Amino acid sequence: MTLTIAQHLKNSADVKVRSAQNTAESDRLATELVRALRAGKKLVVFGNGGSAADAQHFAAELVGRFESARGGLAAIALTTDTSALTAIANDFGYDDVFSRQVQALVQAGDVVVGISTSGNAKSVLKGLEEAKKLKAWTAALTGMTGGKLKGAVDCCVTVPSERTAHIQECHIALIHAICAFVDAAFITTSA
């Protein structure tokens, strides 16, 4: 059976509709992110592959702007410093690429988000475990079950799908929804 473009889009839309029926965890993440940013803290976000791109996108929407005019907000994607990534991977092993950066950059009260479609990426798990040691508030964006990340974070936003593509498509929709929530909070307080 050949999947048509229309069917792929319909399946993807269905995942987003099902995600919209349970937003308690994404609401918690957005609320905690606003709290942290208002307190002068930052977002630190990371993931591998497509999730690395999503992490960079998330940080860029906050540092630059999402849809509304507001000041820049503190956010760092740990997937952008190729010298740090390659040196850490070479000297310590790939599983430590995020935990070493978290150790150096995260402070108590920051919001640290790991993105993993399976919820089982070792490098993401180690980064979030390090963030917990530093008293950061931790969250994960994952797929259906949440994997190992679900029990390791303060908040786990799971997408009701086992298909990597649909999970990633929903992650970016959730990131945009969270950014809209943040925009509204900062526009209201600065007006």
70-125: pLDDT as tens digits: 999 999 999 999 999 999 999 999 999 999 999 999 999 999 999 999 999 999 99
The reply to whether 29 falls in a domain is yes
pLDDT for 69 equals: 86
pLDDT category of residue 64 using cuts at 50, 70 and 90: very high
Region 5-11: mean pLDDT is 95
Domain of residue 70 covers 25-190
Distance CA 85, CA 82 (A): 5
Domain membership of residue 20 (yes or no) is no
Q: Give residue 36's pLDDT.
A: 98
Given a contact cutoff of 8 angstroms between Cβ atoms, the answer to whether 182 and 34 are in contact is yes
Question: Coil, strand or helix: which one is 134?
Answer: coil
- Please indicate, yes or no, if residue 72 is contained in any of the structural domains: yes
Q: Mean pLDDT throughout 62-76?
A: 94
Do 139 and 33 touch, CB atoms closer than 8 A? no
Residue 2 belongs to a domain: no
- Does residue 101 lie in a domain region? yes
Domain annotation covers residue 110: yes
- Strand (E) positions, 51-136? 75-77, 111-115
In a domain, 15, yes or no: no
Domain harbouring 67, CATH code: 3.40.50.10490
Tokens 């010298």, residue? 83
- Contact present, 183 and 70 (Cβ < 8 Å): yes
Q: What is the pTM of this model?
A: 0.95
Number of domains making up the chain: 1
pLDDT the model gives residue 191:
42
Q: Is residue 55 part of a domain?
A: yes
